[in-house]
C-alpha cells in the first residue's frame, strides 16, 4: 500500500499492491497500521456500504454533518466510475475545491475522503459495483447534499448531461454557497 496526497488536504489516493499468479490475485484492501504510517491519519472504520448502478447513474454529492461526519475509503469492485470529493470544511485551505479520479476494478487504487467532504460518483461503464468503508454510522437527520452541477464547483462529470440519471433527492440539492450557512 502506498498513499499519495491529492491537491485536497487530507484526501489521499491509495495505491494497492496486487499479487498475481496463475490462480488470480490477492491484495490487502485495508490495513490500519499501514494506513496510519502512510497518511498520518488514525481511522477506525465501523460500517461498509455497497451499491450497484448502471451507466450514467450519479450518486451525490452527499455528506454527513457535525458529529455524524464520515470519512470514507472508496473503491470499485466491478466496472468504472468517476469519483469526486469536495472539501466543505470552512476552515480548510482547500475549501470549495474538488478532486476527481477514475476508479475501476482494474485500477488498483482507492480514494480516502476525510470527514468534512462531500462525495459523489458517476458510473462510466455499463454497470459498476461500488464499495466503501465509513468511520462513522449513517444518520439520516445529519445528511446533506450539494448540487452535482454547481457552477462554482465546475465538476466535469464526463457523461453528457442528458445521460445523467439522478435520484429525486439528488435533483433537489442546493449549491455549496446555498449550503454554507448549515455547514
pLDDT at 183: 81
| CATH code for position 48 | 2.60.120.10
Tens of pLDDT, residues 106-161: 999 999 999 999 999 999 999 999 999 999 999 999 999 999 999 999 999 999 99
Q: How far apart are CA 55 and CA 150, in angstroms?
A: 21
Examine residue 37 and state whether it is found in any structural domain, yes or no. no
Examine residue 70 and state whether it is found in any structural domain, yes or no. yes
Domain membership of residue 169 as a residue range: 44-182
What is the tally of structural domains in the chain? 1
Examine residue 33 and state whether it is found in any structural domain, yes or no. no
- Count CB-CB contacts under 10 A for residue 71: 20
For residue 74, pLDDT over 90 is answered with yes
Examine residue 22 and state whether it is found in any structural domain, yes or no. no
Strands of 143-145's sheet in order across:
98-104, 80-87, 117-123, 58-64, 143-145
Examine residue 15 and state whether it is found in any structural domain, yes or no. no
In this prediction the pTM is 0.94
Q: Which amino acids are annotated catalytic?
A: 62, 132
Question: To 10 degrees, the CA torsion angle through 59, 101, 65, 134?
Answer: 90
Q: Mean pLDDT check: name the lowest of 46-50, 103-107, 177-181.
A: 177-181
Examine residue 20 and state whether it is found in any structural domain, yes or no. no
For residue 73, pLDDT over 90 is answered with yes
For residue 2, pLDDT over 80 is answered with yes
Q: Which residue has the cell 502506498?
A: 2
Q: Where are the alpha helices (DSSP H) in the chain?
A: 32-39, 176-179
pLDDT band, very low/low/confident/very high, at 180 (cuts 50, 70, 90): confident
- Tell me the Cα Rg of the chain: 16
pLDDT at 181: 77
Examine residue 130 and state whether it is found in any structural domain, yes or no. yes
Examine residue 36 and state whether it is found in any structural domain, yes or no. no
Amino acid at each position: 500500500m502506498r498513499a499519495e496526497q491529492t491537491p485536497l488536504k487530507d484526501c489521499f489516493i491509495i495505491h494497492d499492491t496486487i499479487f498475481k499468479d496463475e490462480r488470480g490475485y490477492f491484495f490487502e484492501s485495508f490495513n490500519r497500521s499501514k494506513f496510519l504510517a502512510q497518511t498520518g491519519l488514525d481511522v477506525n472504520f465501523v460500517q461498509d456500504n455497497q451499491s450497484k448502478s448502471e451507466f450514467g447513474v450519479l450518486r451525490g454529492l452527499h455528506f454527513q454533518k457535525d458529529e455524524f461526519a464520515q470519512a470514507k475509503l472508496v473503491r470499485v469492485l466491478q466496472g468504472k466510475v468517476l469519483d469526486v470529493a469536495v472539501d466543505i470544511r470552512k476552515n480548510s485551505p482547500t475549501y470549495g475545491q474538488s478532486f476527481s479520479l477514475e476508479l475501476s476494478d482494474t485500477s488498483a487504487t482507492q480514494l480516502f475522503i476525510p470527514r468534512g467532504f462531500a462525495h459523489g460518483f458517476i458510473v462510466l461503464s455499463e454497470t459498476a459495483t461500488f464499495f466503501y468503508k465509513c468511520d462513522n454510522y449513517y444518520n439520516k437527520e445529519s445528511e446533506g447534499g450539494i448540487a452535482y452541477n454547481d457552477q462554482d464547483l465546475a465538476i466535469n462529470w464526463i457523461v453528457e448531461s442528458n445521460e445523467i440519471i439522478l435520484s429525486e433527492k439528488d435533483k433537489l440539492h442546493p449549491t455549496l454557497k446555498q449550503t454554507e450557512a448549515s455547514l
